[in-house]
Amino acid sequence: MPRVSVVPGGTAATSLTVRNDGDIVEAYHLEVVGDCAAWATVEPERVSLYPGTAETVTIRLEPPRSPQVRAGDVPLAVRVLPTEHPEAVRVPETVVHVEEYRELRTALAPGRRRGWLRGRYRLAVRNEGNAPVRVAFTAGQQGEELKFDFRPTAQDLEAGESAEAGLRVRAGRPVWFGAPTTWPFTVAATETRDGAEPPDPALVRPPVDAEFVQIPIFPRWLLVLLAALLALLIAWFALVRPAVRSAAEEAADEVVQKRPAPTAEPSVRPPGTGDGKQPGGTGDKPGTGGDGGTGTGPGTSGGQQGSATIDLETGAGETATGTYTVPKGKAFGITDIVVANFQGDEGVMTIGFGDRKITTIALETFRNQDYHWVTPIRINESQTVTIQVTCAKPGTPATGRRAQKCHEVLNVSGVLSDLR
């Protein structure tokens, strides 16, 4: 068989000549074996030959455009099995060269962030090509109002591998008053073969658009409130305070005028007292005073803080469900959830409270994610918090070795109260 090249997503073909060197009519069954078997077929799969005759069959190659079909040389073998003499089986071989293709998928979350001076974003990148690449992250803006910081600034990705990078955006100076200011910018992931080489223009992917909305330190309504308070203070000092002082002074003068003048009384000493002292008596009686005490009465409690954790492992290609059930006589008002995908698994997770589906998210878009509600989501006794995970591909944890199963953790917290 001659050597052949094929592009993933395309079609190529090679040929194989089968000859009957025996002395009887022989039927041959042909089958592709080895790494190419999943995307190679033989046409026809069965031939019958008279002695001394030959026939050429076609091996059609149709590799899918997938990271699973790696670029490089792949051995191609065809097993030729005679029906009458199976011990004379032959396995001719050749080499198929799988061409390289490059494809990168990026996503930025969130696409819009609000803040006084800075905002944080997460950039998810996946190598959809069939060869390893080095990805460099860049951000751009028309002006120079924003500063960008990627951590890390570059990442090496094998075929089919995903990674995340943190992006910190910082404005040059704060906005003290007025309306919020929107700063648009773009984020790009550039594929390079060597970090020292300039990027190939053919490998530069379209940038992702994002926005940072810078909100003022002092909102407009606060200025209106301060102006109103200042006007009230001016009115107080200008009008009300002098009138109050005048009324107080007039009242004080009137009291002084009505107060009688003090008079001196002579002291009279009774005759016959040699010691100069007047007899007097003293009397006691028990005194009573107010007793300050503290009283306690029966009260009611709105509940106490509570939380629950669901730890779920799911085999590759399988779907599993984890649950937490609200205890009898209780109601759970959920205000916060935290979801962890620390391995970087791929698949889909669905979160439900009771009979309500809260959200469905793709595992490859996050590692850690949290949600918060001002108004609690209430679920009653015997209802459940559920996570359902469909594991497409387990990720690689910090140990560096790919996990055998997907592993996700959900924590819910809020107020656990009694039903009355």
> Mean pLDDT, to the nearest integer, of 180-196?
80
Q: What is the rounded distance in angstroms from the CA atom of residue 156 to the CA atom of residue 135?
A: 6
Give whole-number Cα distances, 382 to 311, 329, 353, in Å. Answer: 20, 9, 12
Q: What pLDDT score was predicted for residue 270?
A: 40
Q: What pLDDT score was predicted for residue 395?
A: 92
Give the model's confidence band at 195: pLDDT under 50 very low, under 70 low, under 90 confident, else very high. very low
- CATH class in words for 4-98: mainly beta
Q: Can you tell me whether residue 337 is helix, strand or coil? A: strand
Percent of the chain with pLDDT over 90: 57
- CATH fold of 304-418 reads Jelly Rolls (2.60.120)
* β-strand partners of 55: 18
Give the CA angle between residues 396, 399, 403 to the nearest 5°.
Answer: 40
Closest CA to 115 of 215, 199, 256, 26: 215
> Between residues 34 and 280, which one has the greater pLDDT?
34
> Between residues 221 and 88, which one has the greater pLDDT?
88
Least confident of 60-69, 70-79, 109-118, 295-304: 295-304
Give the model's confidence band at 237: pLDDT under 50 very low, under 70 low, under 90 confident, else very high. confident
Distance of alpha carbon 192 from its chain centroid, rounded? Answer: 28
83 Ramachandran zone, left/alpha/beta (phi>0; psi -120 to 50): alpha
Q: What is the rounded distance in angstroms from the CA atom of residue 173 to the CA atom of residue 143?
A: 14
Distance of alpha carbon 304 from its chain centroid, rounded? Answer: 27
> Mean pLDDT, to the nearest integer, of 280-307?
47
Q: In which residue ranges of the chain is CATH 2.60.120.380 found?
A: 304-418
The answer to whether 415 touches 335, Cβ cutoff 8 Å, is yes
Tokens of 386: 């559920």
Q: Can you tell me whether residue 230 is helix, strand or coil? A: helix
- CATH fold of 104-214 reads Immunoglobulin-like (2.60.40)
Task: Tell me the per-residue pLDDT of 329-351, one tens digit each, with 9 for 90 and over.
Answer: 899 999 999 999 999 999 999 99
Give the model's confidence band at 275: pLDDT under 50 very low, under 70 low, under 90 confident, else very high. very low
Query: 133-140 and 154-157: which strand pairing?
Result: antiparallel
Residue 200 pLDDT > 90: no
Q: In which residue ranges of the chain is CATH 2.60.40.10 found?
A: 4-98
Q: In which residue ranges of the chain is CATH 2.60.40.2310 found?
A: 104-214
Residue 113 pLDDT > 80: yes
